[in-house]
Amino acid sequence: MSDFPGEGGALPDIAMEMPGGDAVKPSDFKGGKLVIFFYPKDNTPGCTTENIDFSALKPEFDKAGVALLGVSKDPPSKHEKFIAKHNLTAPLASDAEENGLSDALGIWTEKKNYGRTYMGMVRTTYLVDTDGKIAKVWNKVRVKGHAQDVLEAAQAL
C-alpha cells in the first residue's frame, strides 16, 4: 500500500509553471472536471501521439465540461516549441520542481532501460471530479486509444 493518493483521494495542490510564466495548480480547476495527463518527454513518439490525440479530442472534452492539462518535467520554453510544432490545443504545464506534483503522486520514479537506471515519468492520467477528488487513474498508459478512453470516462462522470 502506498502513501500516494488514488481514486477517491485528492490531488496534492502543488503549483506548476505554464508557458508564459503563469502558475497552475489542481485547485484552480475545482468546481469543474479535470483530466491531467503526465507524460515523459516532449517530442518523443509516444508523447507526441498522446498530446496530438488529446488535442484532437479537446472540443469533445470542452463540450463535456472537462479541462485538459498535460504535464511533464520539460521546461516551459520546450513546451512552447512542442505546442507550436504540433499545433497542440491541450495546455501543458512544467512540473520541473523537485518535490513537484509528479513526485507527490509517486509517478516520477526510478526506471530501467537497456540496463541503464534513471529517473523518469510514468505515463499516468488522472480524471478529477468537480469536488477535486480523483475519480479514475490510468497507470502505465498505452497511448493508442487512450485519449478516447479517457474522454468516455469523463463524459460518464
The catalytic site residues sit at: 47
* Cα 104–chain centre separation: 14
* Cα 21–chain centre separation: 18
Cβ partners under 8 Å of residue 103, min gap 6: none
CA distances from 143 to 10, 39, 50, 139 (A): 25, 10, 6, 11
DSSP state of 30: T
Name the strands in the sheet holding 23-24, side by side, starting at the edge strand that comes first in the sequence. 23-24, 16-17, 92-94, 66-72, 33-38, 124-128, 134-138
C-alpha span between 95 and 90 (Å, rounded): 16
